[in-house]
Amino acid sequence: MLSKKIVSLSEYREVRNDDLINGLRSIRKSANLSTDDWKSLKVVAKRISGFVDFNSAKSNISKLDNWKRKLEYQKGILFAEEKVLVKAQEVYKSKPNKTLLYGIIPSRFKEEFKEKVDSFKAKREENVKAINMFNELYKHSLRVVKIQKQFAIEEFNFLYPQYADKFENNDSVVEVKSKYVDLFKQEGYKRDVINEFENDLHKLSTPNVKLSKVLEEWKDVNNSLKILERTKEKRKVEYRDSYKNFDAKKTYDSSIKYTDAREQITTKEERKETLKDVLIEQLKQRYPEISIDTIKEIPSEIQSKVLQLHLNNEQSGKLSKDLETVKERYIKKDKNEIPKTNHQENSFTNNSTSSNSEMMFNSLMNAVKQQERNDYDLEAKRRKKKKPKMLYRDRDIEREM
């Protein structure tokens, strides 16, 4: 409510603005926060040395994620070092001279092995302490993001009640809401419309926000594997050279780095296999008339590109047509980049021929089209059975018409 008599448009805007600002302030002032909430807010405020809102809370998480990656790398190296030490100990029992492979002189094995184990334990203890410290801080930071997310939603809904219930509050929607709350606080006026909420309905839907994250991770995993394969070969050369021109320390360190590269590849491959199942599940949700066995026959790289059509709102609703679109865009565009069948590596490769790719797609599309026809026929029969019988007088009218 406006609390004083307005005599001009400028005064109206000023008073209206004051009411909105006061309303926004009251949302935070009246918030029912727990003792743990306040504790987390204080921890994060001290860490960022400033006011905590949704953006600063997210920025804090982003910085912590960088720290997390560093700690995970250190943990991975320690895991690799432990494997090297275990192998060295096993080799010493059966073939003592082979301990040179791990940079340990056979005649001095017990002394050197003990030194390395003691050093390893100290590094692992330090890593565990750092991880525990990180986990405590991350717990507070996640709680603060949740708190600030709710503030952003409530503040936006107060400013723009017409959009309050229009969307499910997934991460992308909250990003937009936070953006327009910040713009109001900076500029002092409301927008007539929120363009993202008028034009990007498809992208902001929760299923597509989830799909976007899946496809992004799928791309990242595949790129990471390419980099890791190159890294592994590089580490292998370094390991071989350090052993050939024997340098105990370099041989020990390079054996650890080589082992780490191999372990990282194993971890990424396992994650890739999990994501393949997610891609299949996503496709099944969007094409329920197609059998799971047929979907599994589609190479994962092609599956991801079909799903990208959905993300871009370019899907036809029929898998056969969408496969044709993918074929036109990616297969005929570069005949040297052809996907193998699911019995081989699910990625574009130069080892297949264009004709093989055409045959694969044609076979897949024939199977898909058959299932789409069957689904259409079943639906037609279902509708026919449900068609109500006409009364005699209705049939008489029907004849006349």
**Backbone φ/ψ region at 223: left (φ over 0), alpha (ψ -120 to 50), beta:** alpha
pLDDT in tens, 33-68: 999 999 999 999 999 998 999 999 999 999 999 999
358: confidence class by pLDDT, cuts 50, 70, 90: confident
Instruction: Report, as an integer, the average pLDDT of 170-174.
Output: 93
pLDDT of residue 61: 97
Q: Which percentage of the chain shows pLDDT scores above 90?
A: 69
Which residue did the predictor score with more confidence, 370 or 243? 243
Mean pLDDT, the chain, as a whole number? 86
CB 85 within 8 A of CB 116: yes
Q: What is the pLDDT of residue 378?
A: 53
What's the rounded Cα separation, in Å, for the pair 311 and 295? 18
d(CA 88, CA 256): 12
Amino acid symbol at 356: N
For the ranges 82-86, 156-160, 166-170, 335-339, the lowest mean pLDDT is seen at 335-339
Global pTM reads: 0.80
> What does the pLDDT read at residue 201?
84
Q: State the greatest distance between any 2 C-alpha atoms of the chain, in Å, as a whole number.
A: 109
Backbone angles phi and psi of 172, in degrees to 5: -70, -40
Average pLDDT over residues 370-391: 60
First to last CA, the chain: 62
Distance CA 393, CA 290 (A): 43
Distance CA 322, CA 317 (A): 8
Model confidence pLDDT, tens digit, residues 116-160: 999 999 999 999 999 999 999 999 999 999 999 999 999 999 999
Q: What integer is the mean pLDDT of 215-224?
A: 97
Distances (CA, A) of 261 to 220, 229, 235: 17, 8, 8
Average pLDDT over residues 366-383: 68
Q: What is the mean pLDDT of residues 250-258?
A: 97
H, E, C per residue of the chain: CCCCCCCCHHHHHHHHHHHHHHHHHHHHHCCCCCHHHHHHHHHHHHHHCCCCCHHHHHHHHHHHHHHHHHHHHHHHHHHHHHHHHHHHHHHHHHCHHHHHHHCCCHHHHHHHHHHHHHHHHHHHHHHHHHHHHHHHHHHHHHHHHHHHHHHHHHHHHHHCHHHCCCCCCCHHHHHHHHHHHHHHHHHCCCCCCCHHHHHCHHHHCHHHHHHHHHHHHHHHHHHHHHHHHHHHHHHHHHHHHHHHCCCHHHHHHHHHHHHHHHHHHHHHHHHHHHHHHHHHHHHHHHCCCCCHHHHHHCCHHHHHHHHHHHHCCCCCCCHHHHHHHHHHHHHCCCCCCEECCCCCCCCEECCCCHHHHHHHHHHHHHHHHHHHHHHHHHHHHHHHHHCCCCCHHHHHHHHHC
Identify which of 127, 241, 172, 177 has the alpha carbon closest to the alpha carbon of residue 27: 177
Mean pLDDT to the nearest integer, 266-270: 97
pLDDT 10s digits, 82-118:
999 999 999 999 999 999 999 999 999 999 999 999 9
What pLDDT shows up at residue 367?
A: 84
Question: What is the pLDDT, as a whole number, of residue 6?
Answer: 41
Greater pLDDT, 378 or 65: 65
pLDDT in tens, 12-30: 445 556 788 889 999 999 9
| Beta pairing partners, 348 | 339
pLDDT digits 0-9 by tens, 173-216: 999 999 999 999 988 889 999 999 988 888 899 999 999 999 99
More confident residue, 372 or 183: 183
